[in-house]
Chain A
Amino acid sequence: MSLPVYATPLQRIWHVAFRVLCGLIFFFLVAPILIIIPLSFNAQDFFTFTPEMLRLDPAGFSLKHYDDFFNNPDWRLPLLNSLAIAPVAMLISVGLGTLAAIGLSQSHVPFKGAIMAILISPMIVPLVISAAGMYFFYSRIGLQGTYWGVVLAHAALGTPFVIITVTATLVGFDQSLTRAAASLGAGPLRTFFKVQMPLILPGVVAGGLFAFITSFDEVVVVIFLGAPGDKTLPWQMFTGLREQISPTILAAATVLVTVSALLLITLEILRRRSERLRGLSPN
């Protein structure tokens, strides 16, 4: 990425300016997230840096907001609710999304484009509209205000992510492998679990993580469909901001950011591993 020796002065200026510009964009994207992390260790109940913090005086820092987050029932219950909803919604999304992607990758399926468009529409339709529609529909069939109502709604929102990531891995999947498995005597089920599944696993896991995160920080649908007892973490953060303005929300945010970052790193490691296995990159 260094400049060629024949670069003109204008090219040199642009070379530097381009880097600065990229840095600024990056800062703009990341700063609001990163600033939360030091603030969450504030010893005071403020949303600003205290003079003690700026002096890096240990007295200015504390874990009390984390203590509040994990031990105050106002926060602990929503956290547990979120943890009860997101994994179940994710499992449903992964199951349905993977099957849909494999089905849509077969050459003989008619109306593939239309089916695909319908299945990924929850990603495109504004959430408020989906949520309002689900509210009326789920009320009719008695799912509104129930745990399973929220789980099903979140599964519907997460499924498109699974379909897209699994479809993307299937593009690189060599269909002659399933033929090879059949010629070696393996039935369709064994072929799926022993040959196809291990190879598309990175796409399935990636889609699953997206589905998990979708459910874990979803607030609109849960406000429409959730019972007061099923308050989730984002819902609590939303009401917390409006009603009590407690810095505990910063601790909650830090925990969520950390969990998300860890998930994404896991994802990247898995992706590299699969590329190595498939021989796409040198070891």
Chain B
Amino acid sequence: MAEEGLMTKTDGDEFVVFDGVQKSYDGTTLVVKDLNLSVPKGEFLTMLGPSGSGKTTCLMMLAGFETATSGEIRLQGRNINTVPPHKRGIGMVFQNYALFPHMSVAENLAFPLEVRKIGKSEREQKVRRALEMVQMGDFGGRRPAQLSGGQQQRIALARALVFEPELVLMDEPLGALDKQLREQMQFEITRIAHDLGITVVYVTHDQTEALTMSDRVAVFNDGRIQQLATPSDLYEHPANSFVAQFIGENNRLMGTVTRIQGDACIVRLDSGDEIDAKPVNVIRVGDRTQISIRPERVETNKDRLRDGAHTLQAEVLEFIYMGDIFRTRLRVAGHDDFIIKTRNAPDQIRHQPGSMIDIGWLPDDCRALDAPQGT
């Protein structure tokens, strides 16, 4: 189902491999269904999905806190199914930070080094370097309870990196932070990951986080990977209606395929209008389809459309001024939740509610996807 994703990056070095992994907690329902995934060394891979989609379970199996019901997980070619968590040498950052509250920051960082019997002077040096890396050099003597959430997260990150693991897992590490801090930490985590050349498997339900941080994103739903692709592929070429709906804002129109011709098709909308679209996973004429168009790819200026392009009549319902962009809600082909986004430029038209306009798009931006069940 992941047309581009699975093919692109399997260039030999398979650092982390999930091979036919399944997981069931109760013996009847599968939380993870036949997972196949390989992560090359040095990649920042994000597992993205709604809660209950199986992404956290996958991370926990990789960390060793859950065991796979069937299938094999390999790390550097070695099956680690039967290796206990403390012998896997994988760094981990937890959602609630999981700093040891009875130890100072420096003691927290020294803990994995003591376990590895590293001498005192080398230990202190590594702890200091790790603290400086997350810009917390002066905080070694503090207790975790004396730090803010963002500071605690930096320490948790430093602790997961101080023993120089090659693979680091992160389980929604920024979930508890406020928006501004989250954006700053997103940037910092990716910077550190690339500087150190470590492989990161990152779990989140926040799609912005996934898009801005990752080399590749695996979108999970219902225990399966729906699409595995780079952020731009994911956003611009969603492989199915779930991914289109889950990543970014998306306009949906329901219809039936009336003609397929190579890379283009004609879709008759339920309102009777006909539009051009790019067939993604519709196969036959007569298939029900969900049309997906990004709000910023809708064109209101006829001059910029291709000759003979289909346009649709739309009624302006609401105009929302958002500063950098305008957000206009339209009624299109019987749907009154059609959104267009336009840049706040000096010559941009501010559509008045009640007015009628023509909208169109490039056929490539209008993707005919599978119709979700029950529609």
| A interacts with B | yes
What residues make up the interface of A, taking CB atoms closer than 8 Å to B? 174, 176-177, 179-188, 190-191, 194-195, 198-199, 276-279, 283
Q: A179-B65, A278-B101, A279-B145 are in contact. Are A185 and B94 (CB under 8 A)?
A: no
Residues B113-155 near A (CB distance < 8 A): 115-116, 143-146
- Alpha-carbon gap, A182 to B64, bound state (A): 9
Which residue of chain A is the closest to B145 with respect to CB atoms? A279
Cβ of B65 and Cβ of A184 under 8 Å apart? Answer: no
- Alpha-carbon gap, A283 to B146, bound state (A): 9
- Alpha-carbon gap, A188 to B96, bound state (A): 21
- Alpha-carbon gap, A190 to B85, bound state (A): 14
| B89 on interface, CB distance cutoff 8 Å | yes
Residues B95-109 near A (CB distance < 8 A): 96, 98-102
Which residue of chain B is the closest to A186 with respect to CB atoms? B115
Q: A182-B85, A183-B92 are in contact. Are A198 and B112 (CB under 8 A)?
A: no
Cβ of B101 and Cβ of A185 under 8 Å apart? Answer: no
Cβ of A184 and Cβ of B112 under 8 Å apart? Answer: yes
Collect the chain A residues with CB atoms within 8 Å of residue B89's CB: 185
Minimum CB–CB distance from A12 to chain B (whole Å) comes to 43
Chain B 149-178 near chain A by CB (<8 Å), digits 1 or 0: 000000000011001000001000000000
Please name 7 pairs of A and B residues whose Cβ atoms are closer than 8 Å in the assembled complex, sorted by A. A177-B100, A179-B98, A180-B92, A184-B111, A184-B163, A194-B111, A277-B143
Which residue of chain B is the closest to A281 with respect to CB atoms? B145
What residues make up the interface of B, taking CB atoms closer than 8 Å to A? 63-65, 84-87, 89-92, 94, 96, 98-102, 111-112, 115-116, 143-146, 159-160, 163, 169
- Alpha-carbon gap, A283 to B147, bound state (A): 13
Which of A176, A180, A184, A194 has the most B CB atoms < 10 Å from its CB?
Answer: A184
- Alpha-carbon gap, A123 to B165, bound state (A): 50
- Alpha-carbon gap, A173 to B112, bound state (A): 21
Which residue of chain A is the closest to B88 with respect to CB atoms? A183
Cβ of A198 and Cβ of B163 under 8 Å apart? Answer: no
- Alpha-carbon gap, A194 to B102, bound state (A): 10
- Alpha-carbon gap, A251 to B116, bound state (A): 56
Which of B87, B99, B101, B163 has the most A CB atoms < 10 Å from its CB?
Answer: B101
Cβ of A185 and Cβ of B65 under 8 Å apart? Answer: no
- Alpha-carbon gap, A195 to B63, bound state (A): 19
Q: A176-B98, A180-B100 are in contact. Are A185 and B163 (CB under 8 A)?
A: yes
Cβ of A176 and Cβ of B115 under 8 Å apart? Answer: no
Cβ of A174 and Cβ of B98 under 8 Å apart? Answer: yes
Minimum CB–CB distance from A201 to chain B (whole Å) comes to 9
Which residue of chain A is the closest to B115 with respect to CB atoms? A185
- Alpha-carbon gap, A179 to B87, bound state (A): 12
Shortest 3 CB-CB distances between A and B: which pairs? Answer: A279-B145, A184-B112, A180-B98
Collect the chain A residues with CB atoms within 8 Å of residue B111's CB: 181, 184, 186, 194
Contact of B102 among A179, A190, A277 (CB under 8 A): A277
Cβ of B85 and Cβ of A277 under 8 Å apart? Answer: no
Contact of A185 among B112, B145, B146 (CB under 8 A): B112
Collect the chain B residues with CB atoms within 8 Å of residue A185's CB: 86-87, 89, 112, 115-116, 163
Collect the chain B residues with CB atoms within 8 Å of residue A177's CB: 98, 100
A183-B169, A278-B101 given. 14 additional CB < 8 A pairs? A176-B94, A180-B94, A180-B98, A181-B86, A183-B63, A183-B91, A184-B111, A184-B115, A184-B159, A185-B89, A185-B116, A194-B111, A277-B101, A279-B101
Contact of B86 among A176, A186, A194 (CB under 8 A): A186
Collect the chain B residues with CB atoms within 8 Å of residue A179's CB: 63, 65, 85, 92, 94, 98
Collect the chain A residues with CB atoms within 8 Å of residue B102's CB: 198-199, 277-278
Collect the chain B residues with CB atoms within 8 Å of residue A283's CB: 146
Collect the chain B residues with CB atoms within 8 Å of residue A278's CB: 101-102, 145
Cβ of B86 and Cβ of A187 under 8 Å apart? Answer: yes
Collect the chain B residues with CB atoms within 8 Å of residue A279's CB: 101, 143-146
Which residue of chain B is the closest to A183 with respect to CB atoms? B92
Contact of A183 among B85, B96, B143 (CB under 8 A): B85
Which residue of chain A is the closest to B90 with respect to CB atoms? A183
Collect the chain B residues with CB atoms within 8 Å of residue A195's CB: 100
- Alpha-carbon gap, A195 to B87, bound state (A): 18
Cβ of A182 and Cβ of B98 under 8 Å apart? Answer: no
Cβ of A182 and Cβ of B145 under 8 Å apart? Answer: no
- Alpha-carbon gap, A279 to B91, bound state (A): 25
Minimum CB–CB distance from A83 to chain B (whole Å) comes to 32
Collect the chain A residues with CB atoms within 8 Å of residue B84's CB: 182
Minimum CB–CB distance from A191 to chain B (whole Å) comes to 8
Q: A184-B115, A279-B145 are in contact. Are A176 and B96 (CB under 8 A)?
A: yes
Which residue of chain A is the closest to B143 with respect to CB atoms? A277
Collect the chain A residues with CB atoms within 8 Å of residue B94's CB: 176, 179-180
- Alpha-carbon gap, A174 to B100, bound state (A): 10
- Alpha-carbon gap, A179 to B101, bound state (A): 14
Collect the chain A residues with CB atoms within 8 Å of residue B112's CB: 184-186
Collect the chain B residues with CB atoms within 8 Å of residue A181's CB: 86, 100, 111
Minimum CB–CB distance from B361 to chain A (whole Å) comes to 47
- Alpha-carbon gap, A277 to B145, bound state (A): 7
Collect the chain B residues with CB atoms within 8 Å of residue A199's CB: 101-102
Which residue of chain B is the closest to A274 with respect to CB atoms? B102
- Alpha-carbon gap, A185 to B94, bound state (A): 15
Q: A179-B65, A183-B90, A183-B92 are in contact. Are A190 and B115 (CB under 8 A)?
A: yes
Which residue of chain B is the closest to A282 with respect to CB atoms? B145
Collect the chain A residues with CB atoms within 8 Å of residue B98's CB: 174, 176-177, 179-180
- Alpha-carbon gap, A186 to B96, bound state (A): 19
Which residue of chain B is the closest to A276 with respect to CB atoms? B145
- Alpha-carbon gap, A274 to B87, bound state (A): 31
Collect the chain B residues with CB atoms within 8 Å of residue A188's CB: 86
- Alpha-carbon gap, A177 to B102, bound state (A): 11
